[in-house]
Amino acid sequence: MRVTRLVGECEKGTCATLYRVGGTADLLVQGYDVADAGAVIGVEIPPGESVVRIPAEIIERYVREYLAR
């Protein structure tokens, strides 16, 4: 799967980042594990899925730079 980096918490490196999956409109999110089940009360996480936390700024930047054109 080919991905393109869109926006991230830092310019380079391994930090919270939003990617686009090549040939699709799908996005991948790299973020911080939410390992504490109490942190996501009311969220049912099925097998094969996980929850990650990302700074809101990443989504805001994505909207400004890619969707508000």
Alpha-carbon distance of 69 to 63, in angstroms, equals 9
User: How many domains does the chain fold into?
Assistant: 1
Q: What confidence tens digit (pLDDT) does each residue in 29-58 have?
A: 999 888 776 778 888 888 888 889 999 999
Whether residue 25 has pLDDT greater than 80: yes
- Give pLDDT, residue 38: 73
- Give pLDDT, residue 69: 67
Cα–chain center distance at 54: 6
Mean pLDDT of the chain: 88
Taking 3-state DSSP, the helix, strand and coil percentages for the chain, each rounded to the nearest 5, stand at 25, 30, 50
Residue ranges making up the domain that contains 13: 3-67
